[in-house]
Chain A
């Protein structure tokens, strides 16, 4: 019996009923991974250690909750003794001496890390085209991008070779690829999941999250990923509920907000049609729709492209060729060491953002850009606070359209930046948001975004699960069959 396209829930019961051993499951997983190498979803595989762990699990009587579940880890999380590149040439030989908290949490719950997934370099990109390790294929079509930056994770889950993957979302990097690959992805509230061991892009926006086939699987993963971590002072010291507990509760009478300022008229009519059908579906489930105004939301993209590059310009300063990572050959002097190491180690998009970030923080410009952007960010947050007094969740398309061809937006970074139009506001406000498959445009999947109030991941998952119980978009596979 093939394990391809199986959910975590399916696999757990197969393991418990001894339909398959842990070792068989992992071996089978690697057979699948190796049959799909053309996706280029992985940068580094963890085969030997994974099989070893599976063998060990077979010899144990009682496993932990996620014992033996194969999971792909975004190559942005530090994994002890396993190469971590962050999609960059700069870290092509970096082997961390420690693991990220979220990796430890998942592995302690029994998950088996099968490998490190491809991604946009340092998570900067929306198509996975900025990876030093090459483009990732979207299983839904030749030469289609999987989205980014968690493109490898999305592609791996979408192709059914792993049931789950980790991602990180700074401006949409979980939700946008989830949308483009037809899977479910959740960005939790900022601070829900520890950032310890996540290679920082923009510290005040970065948040890890689960990517899986279903909202229910995301809830199962989230239960293990969250923790209050003393090693991360921005990690929230809040009660962590059982995120699976209420997902079956009906949503009848609950309120969904539609953001007035998200101008859908500029989108492809097919995209709008899919969105309107989802609205109708939610109506049929008993939800009420309210139009909500978020007056400052149109400033999200420019605000993001000040804050994120500013933080990244500083966060990436440590890659200087002195202590770890790449160092250029035969530096003539210190300046030469810096210039050539960083010129050779970073790709164009990373350099572009370091330049933007250095500029907006420089003397004389700080007040006009960075400080102002932080003020606007506060206004956007206030808009959301107002909105959630009236509604339970906000709803929008996740992306402006389905997956596009590789190279089609390469020449104009602004076009690429606009990919994240709908996803960026949740990051700026630190709010949880998810994307679920809600239809197809040109036979390519597309996603629906739900944004929740602070700490209300459970409610988002409840909305998503109710949708998935009554639709089959998430069950469709690229090869055409329904699971």
Chain B
């Protein structure tokens, strides 16, 4: 018997506005608890929310990038429930009239493309944080995050497995970072998702009963949680029981999902239009301004890299896949005419280091600026490619400045051909038997001479010059 999985994702994207959705409070991460909280965030009696238009502009960018319907008039509703880190006892969200309606996004799973439809994307305020492990027997509440603007992106239940779910999440992350509406920082909770999972027999028309797994914030955990959940549901159904509609929590330590609350225990959120906020109307001027200034998206970048920078399709795809990588490429290209060289380094050495460390480029210590300097130094022949490779490895570990490393370690390439010629002549004089053999037809020995010169110069010789000089000397 064959089971089919149906998955829908609700992704919460923290919008990178300076202030909160309804107050002037700062959205900065990592501050002392309850220091980024103003009267409104605290929900003091008598305070009123005022909508932050910047959040709307960012949401609209997402809508435009996903070819979605944009509601220039959208409104806010209250979702009522009690929780200590929810200061007002309700969350202000967009239930009836969201800013972004139906859209879609393209994902790539092992080289094949699939379109995932997006039901809606709406603005809402984040809650604070409950801290359970700081005070013995008591819970602390930190409201710094309360009121931070979130864009909740709801997908259609069109995702078929964990891999696709991860690909979808990655595609959304790629998009929001390119759009400059979210920093994409998963470790700081800038992106989190709720996953709805159900299974059904292939032939069944109706969807199975779903379980919602709350608040997952890493690609790895999304994949594991879904796979665990699929197996759990299959086990339940195959043993003759039925899946219960409920909210579950993923425990990454035990790699399992656990029941949080069942449908019967679920809150009745008593949604109703928020009477404190008038509908927000985005004017045509505002809308067109956003549309005309939409940042370049990955697909467009890929095409441009192929047509303007002469990259191979595969290279262009890799480089345009992340905003940081694309920024690195563009910054480095501004320092050299050799875009192929830049691409080779990114797709080659840099990608290799990323793979071996199993990290994303955003997590590496290599800054865009430092990489550009490295390329510039190769390009202006200050350093050889070989030296550059060792510098890259060092920067990778330490994040130190490229120019400082070159200076401190005396890695400047030997450009003076008379010095190289002197060294080459010395190598030839010391290896006369190899010279004879080379001249006798053992062409492969040429590499030996190059190697010797490089060894003598500690890799600082320009390989092309060494080649030319050796050829000259050996063939004379």
Contacts and interface: CB of A to CB of B under 8 A. Distances in A.
Interface in A194-253: 195-200, 202-204, 230-234
Given A322-B84, A363-B268, A78 B51 contact: no
Given A195-B48, A361-B271, 7 more contacts: A233-B51, A323-B42, A334-B139, A358-B270, A363-B270, A366-B270, A366-B272
B88 A318 contact: yes
B46 A230 contact: no
A317 B276 contact: no
Given A317-B89, A322-B141, A362 B268 contact: yes
A325 B46 CA distance: 13
A262 interface: no
A347 interface: no
A313 B47 CA distance: 17
A203 B278 CA distance: 12
A338 interface: yes
A94 B45 contact: yes
Interface in B48-78: 48-51, 78
A77 B42 CA distance: 18
Residue of B46, B84, B278 with highest tally of chain A CB at under 10 A: B46
Nearest to A234: B278
B89 A196 contact: no
A92 interface: no
Given A233-B50, A314-B80, A314-B89, A96 B45 contact: yes
Interface residues of A, number: 45
Contacts of B39: 97-98
Nearest to A196: B48
B48 A231 contact: yes
B48 to A, nearest CB: 5
17 contacts: A97-B39, A97-B44, A195-B48, A203-B276, A230-B50, A232-B48, A234-B275, A313-B80, A317-B90, A320-B84, A320-B89, A323-B87, A323-B141, A324-B44, A334-B84, A358-B270, A366-B272
Q: Top 5 nearest A-B pairs by Cβ distance?
A: A317-B89, A361-B270, A203-B275, A204-B275, A197-B46
A181 interface: no
A169 interface: no
A363 B270 CA distance: 6
Interface in A321-351: 322-325, 334, 338
Nearest to B267: A363
B89 A199 contact: no
B342 to A, nearest CB: 49
A438 interface: no
B277 interface: yes
Interface string B323-360: 00000000000000000000000000000000000000
A316 B47 CA distance: 13
A131 interface: no
A473 interface: no
Contacts of B89: 314, 316-318, 320
Interface in A373-392: none
B43 interface: yes
B3 interface: no
Nearest to B277: A233
A126 interface: no
B46 to A, nearest CB: 4
A343 B402 CA distance: 66
A310 interface: yes
A84 interface: yes
B82 A320 contact: yes
B418 to A, nearest CB: 75
A314 B82 contact: no
A370 B272 contact: yes
A86 interface: yes
A314 B90 CA distance: 7
B88 A366 contact: no
B47 A196 contact: yes
Nearest to B143: A323
A272 interface: no
Interface in A87-112: 91, 94, 96-98, 100
B87 A318 contact: yes
Among A199, A203, A323: residue with most chain B CB under 10 A: A323
A322 B130 CA distance: 12
Interface residues of B, number: 29
A385 B80 CA distance: 34
A232 B88 CA distance: 17
Contact of B45 (A199, A310, A320): A199
B262 to A, nearest CB: 16
B476 to A, nearest CB: 85
Contacts of B43: 318, 323
Contacts of B48: 195-196, 231-234
Given A317-B88, A363-B268, A96 B276 contact: no
Interface string B9-45: 0000000000000000000000000000001001111
Contact of A317 (B42, B44, B51, B82): B82
A420 interface: no
Nearest to B40: A231
A120 interface: no
A320 B82 CA distance: 8
Interface string A302-315: 00000000110110
Nearest to B49: A233
B46 A366 contact: no
A107 to B, nearest CB: 16
Contacts of B275: 202-204, 234, 311
Contacts of A98: 39, 44
Nearest to B278: A233
B272 A338 contact: no
A298 B72 CA distance: 37
A234 B141 CA distance: 31
A183 B353 CA distance: 82
A363 to B, nearest CB: 5
A195 B49 CA distance: 11
Contacts of B44: 78, 96-98, 324
A310 B80 CA distance: 11
Scoring A200, A314, A370 by chain B CB atoms within 10 A of each residue's CB, the highest score goes to A314
Most chain B CB within a 10 A radius of its CB, from A84, A231, A322, A325:
A322
Contacts of B78: 314
A314 B270 contact: yes
B80 A84 contact: no
B186 to A, nearest CB: 29
A338 B86 CA distance: 13
Interface in A272-326: 310-311, 313-314, 316-320, 322-325
Contacts of A91: 45
Contacts of A195: 46, 48
Nearest to B37: A323
B446 to A, nearest CB: 78
Contacts of A200: 45-46, 276
